[in-house]
Chains A and B, each alone.
Chain A
């Protein structure tokens, strides 16, 4: 709990209605969409301008109050979850579209602006915003910037960092600075590149300039059902080695298909196939038909059971909803799940899936798999029931083993969900002490007092072991 004096100072900055400070009012802010670990914030504050954010951060510095930024709370690695009784700075009310320049293909948004709303706002002129995380209907562009969010179509179009060109940032000290440049390459150090993906550990972006793209002239989507995962993964490799650059290549396994088919995003996958592949190609009308035919040919060469091209926009929307709603649809078959985010070289897919199946058997917990197959970004969904004692810990253990497996085959521990608190121990598995020390020194430049989202992304030296002690509803800030 914050002292009454500090609550009063916050109210002074943002007005009475924009501060939540009673313990029962802040309960809903004890985690984001990563629910395995929770802890209460000291308060929640809702600024409405850059100036208010800067004043709040300065107050935190003056009073040594830990703080962290939060968007829609859809993050999957605990980036917005307090671990030190932080003051949560919710940017949800900073949700304005500040400017659109169609001719130069740029838009300026506040951090609380929702990803898909940008596309909706500019669609009438034939434009869209390319990064498309599955939570795009809800997640904010500020959150996307913090996590360097990806999405299904990032295979061809790149992740958030490839689309953010400038940002106004309130540093951890409260100073307001501009990084990047709406046009042209960065001049001086590419600090914006450091800020994007820094998971709220360096500062808080309050105005973000992004690229907007012209909708491709034509899109074709292909859905293929395979009896064997091996055939599906060989198909993915063959498509890419043939020189085709698909907009997206997504794979779902049997358990994921079962779960999502129980939801309202029902496609009706055959119950006895091992894998479904969703491939999208886009570009100029002239080439797209032909490319889609080549994709179908490659599927056929790899023992596909059935493969077909989408018949209309409604069907395309359904196929994509089915894929994008896959994570939460796991709720249909399991009360809780932990989603992992490892990256592997594409050619290791079959081997890694086999090892994941073994781990699943070993720990006695089901693991469903859905992934961006084109860039080797796996999302194993580990099913557990938090009400059964010990299952949550088991699920976290499998998660760690899977990430280590990804590193062992030459991959990495995160593709797009961020490290947050969830994967922080695996940072030491992936990087040497010297590597981490270099990153830590970089953080100290912007966040010298470590007040801003401490305990996320980069582990503190020799403190890894104690991280797991901060568990559900930590009582330290109950007042």
Chain B
């Protein structure tokens, strides 16, 4: 019998494996249930197990040895989007995201199956994302594939049909991949335009840089334009967010150590990032080093410098553009911007500063689109349901949707594709960059 009472408890996993969920984190939950209605998975499933309160309760019961870490716990813990909407409402301040990630770390360390294609996931998270050369090689292959008409040939031969539906759709909406990632094309140092306000080191990311290298370039231009000297540390790696979400904290720590060292070495006052998921992960690096005092303090120093590009632009002051961008636009709050980093107003201020841009509110703009890192690949059904709801919330008559995260961009592009909607999916900073580009010189 897997279930046991406190009196008959056996040594729990907690005592055997690092990264145990922190008692100080789960004991904060007072079980009020105010998180249920904002949880996208609870809204779909109405099952207490699939709510933040239920998950935290299960995590606590496992940590205290009253429940075993089996499928009844692992399924809810992996069905969580890690969107943190619960943290936004929680009056008691429970860090649900950290608890979920730590529990995944335990499941991962114990090599428990979690219903996800483990081998494929391991290939990407362990053997591709951590190595820029391999990552960009995939980018290069994609480019060749797109340019050489292979895409047409594969579609023609129906070979794409052997892929899962969501992957097929993802393939269909992938932007034209640039020849080289921004990490390679951008100069290591770009002087600030006008008076230098500060130096900012650009974090280029992996998904962002393979699929949306032009957004990294736009970020650098916009920063330079607003008085920031931009440096691009060439030793940087993937942030590790996807590994953390999957529970591979060991791999994430290795990536984090190198990033911390590479960025601190630049001496830059700020680290700028344009991907919400990466930004949140970089700001939470200290959480990874709870048992490593040296890197914990380095990580604290590093994380204190991390800013989302919209956050930094508002913090140091940005120049309102005079060039027009004619779009009726709506803004989608990426979970890891609004819930994980409390950034809501800054991107909207940037959008409202652009002449010609009409910004229309989206209902429930803070509800997850289902992208959630690699969630749309690991949990296509739930991701699909949430995507449908998101597309239902897009106001009538908009010509573009802005947001601050590449994962959301890919997911919402799939949503528009499914509905045959002609809507541009853009990063906030791209719109500002466009407006600057259209200024009369």
Q: Which A residues form the contact surface with B (CB < 8 A)?
A: 20, 22-25, 27-29, 31-33, 35, 44, 46, 72-74, 90, 92-93, 95, 112, 114, 135, 137-138, 260, 262-265, 325-332, 335-337, 387, 473, 475, 478-479
Does any Cβ of A come within 8 Å of B72's Cβ? Answer: yes
B residues whose Cβ falls under 8 Å from a Cβ of A: 1-3, 5-6, 27-34, 36-37, 46-49, 53-54, 57-58, 61, 66-68, 70, 72-73, 88-94
With A22-B72, A73-B48 given, is the CB distance from A27 to B32 under 8 Å?
Answer: no
User: In the bound complex, do residue B37 and residue A27 qualify as a contact, i.e. CB atoms below 8 Å apart?
Assistant: no
Question: A74 near B93 (CB under 8 angstroms)?
Answer: no
Question: Given A24-B72, A74-B32, A138-B36, are A475 and B5 also a contact pair (CB < 8 Å)?
Answer: yes
Across-interface contacts of B57 in A (CB, < 8 A):
27-28
Given the complex, which residues of B lie within 8 Å of A93, measured CB to CB? 46
Across-interface contacts of B36 in A (CB, < 8 A): 72-74, 138
Contact residues of B: prevailing secondary structure: loop
CB-based contact A331/B29 at 8 Å: yes
Chain B residues with CB below 8 A from A478, complex form: 1, 3
Shortest distance from the beta carbon of A45 to any chain B beta carbon, whole Å: 12
* CB atoms of B30 and A337 under 8 A apart: yes
Could you write out 12 A-B pairs with CB less than 8 Å apart? A23-B3, A24-B73, A28-B58, A33-B30, A33-B32, A72-B36, A73-B33, A73-B36, A114-B37, A135-B32, A337-B30, A478-B3
* Interface pair B70/A331, CB less than 8 Å apart: no
Q: Are A260 and B91 in contact (CB under 8 A)?
A: yes
B92 adjacent to A331 (CB under 8 Å): yes
Residue of A nearest to B32 (CB): A328
**Which chain A residues lie closer than 8 Å to B54 at the CB level?**
28
Q: Are A24 and B92 in contact (CB under 8 A)?
A: no
In the bound complex, CA of A32 to CA of B46 (Å)? 15
Query: Provided the pairs A72-B36, A263-B93 are in contact, do residues A27 and B58 lie with their beta carbons within 8 angstroms?
Result: yes
B34 is contacted by which of A25, A35, A135, A332 (Cβ under 8 Å)?
A135
Residues of B within 8 A of A24 (CB): 2-3, 67-68, 70, 72-73
Chain A: minimal CB distance from B22 (Å): 13
Complex contacts, A479 vs chain B, CB 8 Å: 1
Interchain nearest-CB distance for A49 vs B (Å) = 14
CA distance A35 to B31 in the complex (A): 7
Q: Which residue of the partner chain, among B53, B67, B73, B92, contacts A329 with CB atoms under 8 Å? A: B92
State A332–B28 Cα separation when bound (angstroms). Answer: 7
Bound Cα distance A27, B92 (Å): 22
B46 A328 Cβ-Cβ under 8 A: no
Give the 8 A-B residue pairs with the shortest CB-CB distance, closest first. A331-B92, A24-B72, A92-B46, A325-B91, A328-B32, A328-B91, A28-B54, A331-B30
- When distances are taken between beta carbons in the complex, the residues of chain B under 8 Å from A31 are 31
User: In the complex, A46 Cα to B46 Cα: how many Å?
Assistant: 9
Instruction: Please name all residues of chain B whose beta carbon is closer than 8 Å to the beta carbon of A387 when the two chains form the complex.
Output: 27
Whether the Cβ atoms of B2 and A23 lie closer than 8 Å is yes
Complex CA–CA separation, A326 to B34 (angstroms): 12
Q: 9 extra interchain contacts, Cβ-Cβ under 8 A, other than A29-B48, A35-B30, A74-B33?
A: A24-B3, A33-B31, A114-B37, A137-B37, A260-B91, A326-B91, A328-B91, A329-B91, A332-B93
Enumerate chain B residues within 8 angstroms of A138, measured Cβ to Cβ: 33-34, 36-37
Contacts of A35 in B (CB 8 A): 30-31
Residue of B nearest to A23 (CB): B3
B3 touches A28 (CB 8 A): no
In the bound complex, CA of A35 to CA of B61 (Å): 14
**Please, how many angstroms separate the alpha-carbon atoms of A253 and B54 in the complex?**
31
How far is A311 from B132 in the complex, measured between Cα atoms in Å? 54
How far apart are the CA atoms of A95 and B45 in the complex, in Å? 12
A88 to chain B, nearest CB (A): 9
Contacts of B48 in A (CB 8 A): 28-29, 44, 73, 90
Q: Which residue of A lies closest to B57 (CB)?
A: A28
Chain B's nearest CB lies how many Å from the CB of A148?
A: 19
Asked if B1 contacts A328 (CB within 8 A), the reply is no
Q: CB distance B33 to A72 under 8 Å? A: yes
Complex Cα gap A328–B53 (Å): 12
- Please give, as numbers and ranges, the residues of chain B lying within 8 Å of A337 by CB-CB distance: 30
Give the CA-CA distance A26 to B5 in the complex, in Å: 15
